[in-house]
Amino acid sequence: MADKIHRIDAVEKVTGQTKFAADLHLPGQLTGRVLRCHQTHARIRSIDTSKACKVPGVVSIMLAGDLPAHTSWSTYPILSGEHVRYQGDAVALIAAESEQAAESALAKIKVEYEQLPSVLSIEEALQENAPVLHEGRTDNRVANSHWPVRQGNVAAGFAQSEVILEREYRTSHIEHAYIEPEAVLVTTDWDDSLIVFGSTQNPFNTRRAVAAAAGYPLSKVRVVQQAVGGSFGGKEESMGLLAGRAAILCLQTGRPVKMLYSREESIIESSKRHPFRLRYKVGAKRDGRIMALQAELVDEGGAYNFQAQFMNWRASVHAAGAYRIPNVKVDVYAVHTNRIFGGAMRGYSSPQIIFAQESLMDELAAELGMEPLALRQVNFLHENDTTITGQVLTAAVNAEKVTLRALELADYVRKRAEYQEQSSEASVERGIGFATSFRGCGLGAEAPDATGAIVSVQSDGSIIVRSSLTDMGQGLQTAHALLAAKELGVSPERIVCKSVDTTAVPEGGMTVASRGTFAGGKPLILAAGQIRETLFRVASRRLDCSPAELAAEDDWIFVIGKPERKLSFDEVVATAFWSGYPLSASGWFQPDPVEWDHAAGQGEAFPSYSYGCVVADVEVNKITGMATVRNLVSVHDVGQVIHLGAAAGQVYGGIAMGMGMALMEEVTFRQGLVSNPNFDKYLVPTAMDIPEVVCEFIESKDNSGAAGAKSLGEAALEAVAAAVANALAAAGFRSRVLPVLSESLLREVNGRR
């Protein structure tokens, strides 16, 4: 199955035919713009729009008091009327005939602010006398963000330990850096319902935001997903807010409204990867057996936050890594500050957690005088072991298998010995390190992993597939086409996959948690299976056999063991259609209910887990401080590979993103305001930075995902930064803060001198 077709959207994208939201235009459309506060924390004293209203071409200016319904969606303000909590807060909306008119009007709106004390770090948020940033709260902890894990007796575990190590690690705000900024076009239908065309990762969530802003029922809001030029989790809150604002202006003016963010607006408003402060304490025997682990993991939620209550649950489940530890105490929670809010980003807390706990494993190995691999082998989870949440792993547990294979491919043992013998007088220091990870597949106990799909065979034998989940560039439609084709026994070229239209498919949750194939493929297979049964009933009458005797492959339906007795797929479809049989079917996947003990953090967290290992070979130039990744090896257990090219693409993309997290990417602030809101100062890896990469997949049997597939999209990224950090440490540069910038490496070199 894995190599039968190319990416089905490849030709359109490389030839420029794909229509993104910014490419859409409707007659009479207006340009919508947002006025932002550019304050960290303030009270709005007054807003004067009189001069802005006189600008030629301005059609409407709206303030919070003019909104038809809610002024906020979830915890995020559509418009702020009294209080602003970070620089991206919007205080006014403008609809104008042109971009120039909108810009001129923005410059003429006068807002008077009363400055309020700001909270700009995790430490400041936790101070006893810190300003409380949200009404109704007694402190700055994000509501419902605390997730504990309690297993065994931590005090007893530390008492049994012969070595105890305590460490603190830090990660930064990271921008998603998708090529396409947020864009939306909103118009009305004949019945005044709203139609939203947008670059949205989660169309149904965007529909909720628009309904809240407009005061409409969900049935009067239609969201049509356009091709998405990247998201990685970033086009959730920002697209909901953007679509809600455009919808309000559309209703106010009676004309279509298009809104497109500049890169600066996108970076200033949109969510970022949550920065973490990760404090670990670990106790072990001299032989390497880990007896106890205690962790306090605090993430910066920013001015508003809805994601932390879900993300921190995942962080708590994965806090100890792929290791068997009998005594565990973990607490994860988030705090509010007056900086950009944290949100979903590829990995959803795991890259930060893995950086800390895999750095900790290497540091513990050094303390014990053990090789990093030897320590892990003593503690790796295996089949029938119990995770820190009390889940017994009954399926294949391949943490050790992927690690050994990755180290073999990287020539790790030889290189590690060679680099340890390098001269201290050399101009470069080389090191090789690795990180092992495991990832719960799908949503697990976080939320019901239910979703749907519709398959419709046309009378000419062509096939339309609609999923409730979104292809945002990761190749989901290609995987779905392959799954449907296999179930129906036809060539994938027959299949056309449509983007999500909220009026055409059932709401199937968000496209997150690497669930697109793992969970999203299941209803697709169910729907295609229903149609196959119908076609087999029709074919059995013409072939004079029972439906159970039939099979389908390569566009033929035939009698098993007698392939000469066959009918073409088109023949059977035509017969079924003109005989009145249904050739459309919907499928719905609903997972078994999961019980979770919140107080103890115990339960069956996920139906299955994927495993990965990344090995990084690095060198540090001691004259410039520049760190270079010379090559990377990435090995993953993904169950069954559905499309090899798409799977490899996920790994290469994850490597680029992980290298950025490790060595260069960081949203920086000056007094709480973003100081690098564009790609001239916010650096991301380019093609010139990506080293030689060896990618390999280990297939395993697991029945929990569609066609045996497990999650990969986020797993491909999660261990990369940790592997690079451990490689730098092997070269003599242990950093407990990401990113590891050249400036910090050069300071360390100079300090040694």
Per-residue pLDDT tens for 407-431?
Answer: 999 999 999 999 999 877 888 999 9
Place 508 in a pLDDT band, splitting at 50, 70 and 90.
confident
Q: How far apart are CA 137 and CA 145, in angstroms?
A: 13
Cis peptide preceding 739, ω within 30 of 0:
yes
Query: Are the beta carbons of 61 and 153 closer than 8 angstroms?
Result: no
Whether pLDDT at 717 is above 80: yes
Domain 121-175+270-391 bears CATH identifier 3.30.300.30: no
Q: Could you tell me the pTM of the whole model?
A: 0.95
Whether pLDDT at 249 is above 90: yes
Place 1 in a pLDDT band, splitting at 50, 70 and 90.
very low
Residue 76 CB burial class (10 angstroms; 0-12, 13-18, ≥19): buried
Query: Are the beta carbons of 160 and 285 closer than 8 angstroms?
Result: yes
Identical fold at 121-175+270-391 and 445-589? yes
Question: For the domain 395-441+608-753, what is the CATH code?
Answer: 3.30.365.10
Q: Domain-by-domain residue ranges, the chain?
A: 21-116+191-259, 121-175+270-391, 395-441+608-753, 445-589
Q: The tokens 């697990």 sit on which residue?
A: 444
3-class SS letters over 426-445: CCEEEEEEEEEEEEECCCHH
- Average pLDDT (49-64) is 97
At 574, which amino acid appears?
Answer: A
- For residue range 577-616, list pLDDT tens digits in order: 999 999 999 999 888 878 899 999 999 999 889 999 999 9
Which pLDDT value is given to residue 470? 84
How high does pLDDT run on average in the chain? 94
Q: How far apart are CA 11 and CA 637, in angstroms?
A: 30
Q: What are phi and psi of 71, to 5 degrees?
A: -95, -5
Fold of 21-116+191-259: Aldehyde Oxidoreductase; domain 3 (3.90.1170)
Q: Is 697 helix (H, G, I), strand (E, B) or coil?
A: strand
- For residue range 457-488, list pLDDT tens digits in order: 999 999 999 988 888 878 888 888 888 999 99
Q: Which CATH number fits domain 445-589: 3.30.930.10, 3.30.365.10, 3.30.1340.10, 3.40.718.10?
A: 3.30.365.10
Q: How far apart are CA 221 and CA 214, in angstroms?
A: 9
In this structure, the chain runs to a length of 753
Whether pLDDT at 4 is above 70: no
